Amino acid sequence: MKNRGIMFALLALVTSPVCAATFSGAPRILDGNTIEIDKTNVRLSGIEAPETDQICLDAEGRKWACGVAARDELIKHSNGRTWDCHTQRVDEYRRALGNCFIEGENVNVWMVRSGWALSTAPSHAVYELAA
């Protein structure tokens, strides 16, 4: 019985997705909070950006494609530069979750400060994101 438990633990370890890792490269930006680097999807943790197909209302009640705009602004900000992403765990969709940086600037924080995403991090974690 003990050997079965050890085998199960080893199997889980070998087949588990990457948890703590660093990915670097020019990303393919999928939406306002998900990118792909080296065939790995990385979800920017601590933020929530509109989905690409999401429609928002402006102050006058007019519809606009806020999800496309958030993605496009992130593409413009990235401008083909190299990103460094530090991930800690994976989510239920098997995306790596982490913070990404362009030339030392935290992209997660930039998205919130620029108004393209909302912070979902607890208030104390916002300071950790900015560090």
Task: Report pTM.
Answer: 0.78
Q: How many CB atoms lie within 10 A of CB 6?
A: 9
CA distance 81 to 3: 49
pLDDT in tens, 63-122: 999 999 999 999 999 999 999 999 999 999 999 999 999 999 999 999 999 999 999 987
Closest CA to 86 of 77, 95, 97: 97
Listed by start position, the domains of the chain span 18-130
pLDDT in tens, 35-67: 999 999 999 999 999 999 999 999 999 999 999
Q: Which fold has domain 18-130?
A: OB fold (Dihydrolipoamide Acetyltransferase, E2P) (2.40.50)
